[in-house]
């Protein structure tokens, strides 16, 4: 079995760790050698002693990076991948379709890159679907962030001092994150409305006790993702959503289109109709934003409405996020170790191994690097 290295995360605000002690114990019992950088799991609640007990070698950064397979969470800086051994493998969230500097450095270093966000959403790959596991928790954290910032409680309360009406919550985008946001807001007692351009999500929304907003819909693409819409449909969306935006105490937006800017669902004019003290959490702020005034990792005030643009909400719950991510990587590493065919011939790694031994394989990564230009 090869050696897997777990360096400490270096991205600002990143508190997760790629492998937790429970996973390390399973890997070492299967024959893996695991090198963990000292302190890598501390922020997630996993001290070095737990890794040692699980069978890992707690070591320095250089030794962790010298491993045959290096796993991480957030995209590593290009300088880090340049320090890896040629022929080794780096795995994690790598932004393979947009992070040109990182992808170019990976190719130049002769590495294999496995981008977990490129793992196909199929039954076979379900246990490796790190994107779903992390966005699930992000949807939960988004509602808690809004609840913490809002001046209003979520549930209806009947007290001797009078009755408090429940919070009105609007969720835009009903994928994994949106469904968890709906479920969390409902558990807190809010009245929830939700919208997604894909008509098949209406049943899912209503099954969670929320109400689906009647607005323009369109069929998803072959991968089940939302698609871009024409300007006239977008204008109809805005018109249909405007009254719900104006009435909302809390809005959480999650709509994303892989590899493209996020769809604009809430304009500045729409935000200006919201009451002072209302809160918006735009989970798509890092890819252009569903809310026009939002900015990545900033809090913007528009007429008393506060707009959050967090780009790494899963790191707000680092313990459970790390546990889920670690289980995803465990399955992936087991498949990698047992693979007899070439990575490019495997049903999962043919999509996720975007670079193999320094050569870009995925069409979108090749396009990013200009390799298909004639």
Q: For residues 284 and 257, what is the distance between their CA atoms, to the nearest angstrom? A: 10
Q: For residues 34 and 26, what is the distance between their CA atoms, to the nearest angstrom? A: 11
Which residues are within 8 A (CB) of 18 and not within 5 positions of it... i.e. 6 or more apart? 6, 71, 72, 73, 92, 322, 325, 326, 329
Find out whether 276 and 152 touch, Cβ atoms under 8 Å.
no
Two tokens, residue 116: 């977990």
Among candidate residues 298, 316, 334, the one where a domain is terminated: 316
Q: For residues 283 and 268, what is the distance between their CA atoms, to the nearest angstrom? A: 17
pLDDT at position 217: 73
Tell me, yes or no, whether 52 lies in a domain: yes
Q: Which tens digit of pLDDT belongs to each residue from 146-165? A: 999 999 999 999 999 999 99
List the catalytic residues. 121, 126, 129, 132, 225
**Based on the domain organization, do 257 and 142 belong to the same domain?**
yes
Q: For residues 347 and 4, what is the distance between their CA atoms, to the nearest angstrom? A: 23
Question: What ranges make up the beta strands (E) of 144-298?
Answer: 157-159, 162-164, 168-172, 191-195, 211-212, 250-253, 279-282
Tell me, yes or no, whether 373 lies in a domain: no
What does each of the 374 residues of the chain score in pLDDT, given as a tens digit? 689 999 999 999 999 999 999 999 999 999 999 999 999 999 999 999 999 999 999 999 999 999 999 999 999 999 999 999 999 999 999 999 999 999 999 999 999 999 999 999 899 999 999 999 999 999 999 999 999 999 999 999 999 999 999 999 999 999 999 999 999 999 999 999 999 998 889 999 999 999 999 888 765 554 555 566 778 888 999 999 999 999 999 999 999 887 788 999 999 999 999 999 999 999 999 999 999 999 999 999 999 999 999 999 999 999 999 999 999 999 999 999 988 667 888 999 999 999 999 999 999 999 999 987 54
**Based on the domain organization, do 269 and 196 belong to the same domain?**
yes
**Based on the domain organization, do 139 and 116 belong to the same domain?**
no
Give SS3 for 123: coil
Beta bridge partners of 59: 37
Find out whether 281 and 298 touch, Cβ atoms under 8 Å.
no
Residue from 205, 203, 149 nearest 173 by CA: 205
Q: For residues 281 and 255, what is the distance between their CA atoms, to the nearest angstrom? A: 12
pLDDT at position 219: 58
Which residues are within 8 A (CB) of 324 and not within 5 positions of it... i.e. 6 or more apart? 133, 134, 136, 137
Q: For residues 227 and 88, what is the distance between their CA atoms, to the nearest angstrom? A: 36
pLDDT at position 240: 94
pLDDT at position 374: 43
**Based on the domain organization, do 41 and 175 belong to the same domain?**
no
Tell me, yes or no, whether 217 lies in a domain: yes
Tell me, yes or no, whether 302 lies in a domain: yes
Q: For residues 136 and 180, what is the distance between their CA atoms, to the nearest angstrom? A: 6
**Based on the domain organization, do 329 and 344 belong to the same domain?**
yes
Tell me, yes or no, whether 374 lies in a domain: no
Beta bridge partners of 159: 162
**Based on the domain organization, do 29 and 150 belong to the same domain?**
no
Two tokens, residue 153: 């409680």
Provide the H-helix boundaries in 58-150: 61-65, 78-82, 100-108, 130-149
Give SS3 for 356: strand
Among candidate residues 300, 316, 332, the one where a domain is terminated: 316
Domain total in the chain: 2
Q: List own/partner pairs for 123-127 with CB under 8 A and 24 or more apart.
A: 124/347, 124/348, 125/347, 125/348, 127/327, 127/328, 127/331
**Based on the domain organization, do 121 and 225 belong to the same domain?**
no
CATH number, domain containing residue 37: 3.40.50.720
The proportion of the chain whose per-residue pLDDT surpasses 70, expressed as a percent, equals 96
Q: Which tens digit of pLDDT belongs to each residue from 272-324? A: 999 999 999 999 999 999 999 999 999 999 999 999 999 999 999 999 999 99
Tell me, yes or no, whether 334 lies in a domain: yes
**Based on the domain organization, do 12 and 30 belong to the same domain?**
yes
**Based on the domain organization, do 197 and 341 belong to the same domain?**
no
**Based on the domain organization, do 271 and 143 belong to the same domain?**
yes
**Based on the domain organization, do 335 and 251 belong to the same domain?**
no
Find out whether 239 and 207 touch, Cβ atoms under 8 Å.
no
**Based on the domain organization, do 183 and 325 belong to the same domain?**
no
Q: For residues 152 and 62, what is the distance between their CA atoms, to the nearest angstrom? A: 49
End-to-end CA, the chain: 42
Find out whether 34 and 52 touch, Cβ atoms under 8 Å.
no
Residue from 260, 255, 117 nearest 178 by CA: 255
Among candidate residues 316, 336, 352, the one where a domain is terminated: 316
**Domain span at residue 336?**
3-129+318-368
Beta bridge partners of 193: 170, 211
pLDDT at position 345: 87
Q: For residues 362 and 371, what is the distance between their CA atoms, to the nearest angstrom? A: 11
Tell me, yes or no, whether 112 lies in a domain: yes
Q: For residues 325 and 46, what is the distance between their CA atoms, to the nearest angstrom? A: 14
């Amino acid at each position: 079995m090869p050696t897997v290295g777990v360096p400490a995360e270096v991205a600002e605000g990143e508190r997760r760790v790629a492998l937790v002690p429970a996973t390390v114990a399973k890997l070492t019992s299967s024959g893996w050698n695991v090198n963990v950088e000292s302190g890598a799991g501390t922020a997630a609640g996993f001290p070095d002693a737990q890794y040692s007990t699980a069978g890992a070698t707690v070591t320095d950064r250089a030794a962790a990076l010298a491993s045959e397979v290096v796993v991480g969470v957030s995209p590593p800086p290009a300088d880090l991948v340049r320090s890896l051994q040629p022929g080794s493998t780096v795995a994690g969230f790598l932004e393979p379709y947009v992070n040109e500097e990182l992808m170019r450095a990976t190719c130049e270093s002769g590495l294999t890159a496995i981008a977990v966000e490129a793992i196909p959403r199929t039954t076979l790959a379900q246990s490796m679907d790190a994107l779903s596991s992390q966005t699930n928790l992000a949807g939960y954290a988004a509602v808690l962030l809004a609840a913490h910032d809002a001046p209003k409680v979520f549930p209806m309360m009947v007290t001797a001092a009078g009755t408090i009406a429940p919070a009105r919550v609007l969720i835009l985008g009903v994928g994994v994150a949106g469904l968890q946001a709906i479920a969390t807001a409902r558990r807190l007692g809010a009245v929830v409305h939700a919208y997604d351009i894909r008509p098949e999500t209406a049943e899912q929304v209503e099954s969670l006790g929320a109400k689906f907003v009647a607005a323009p819909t369109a069929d998803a693409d072959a991968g089940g993702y939302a698609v871009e819409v024409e300007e006239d449909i977008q204008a109809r969306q805005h018109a249909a959503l405007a009254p719900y935006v104006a009435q909302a105490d809390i809005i959480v937006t999650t709509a994303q289109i892989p590899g493209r800017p996020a769809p604009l669902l809430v304009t500045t004019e729409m935000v200006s109709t919201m009451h002072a003290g209302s809160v918006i959490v735009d989970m798509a702020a890092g890819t252009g934003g569903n809310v026009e005034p939002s900015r990545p990792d900033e809090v913007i005030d528009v007429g008393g409405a506060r707009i959050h643009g967090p780009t790494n909400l899963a790191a707000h719950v680092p313990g459970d996020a790390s546990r889920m991510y670690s289980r995803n990587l465990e399955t992936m590493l087991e498949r990698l170790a047992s693979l007899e065919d070439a990575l490019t011939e495997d049903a999962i790694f043919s999509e996720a191994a975007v670079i193999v031994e320094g050569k870009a394989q995925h069409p979108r990564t090749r396009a990013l690097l200009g390799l298909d230009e004639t």
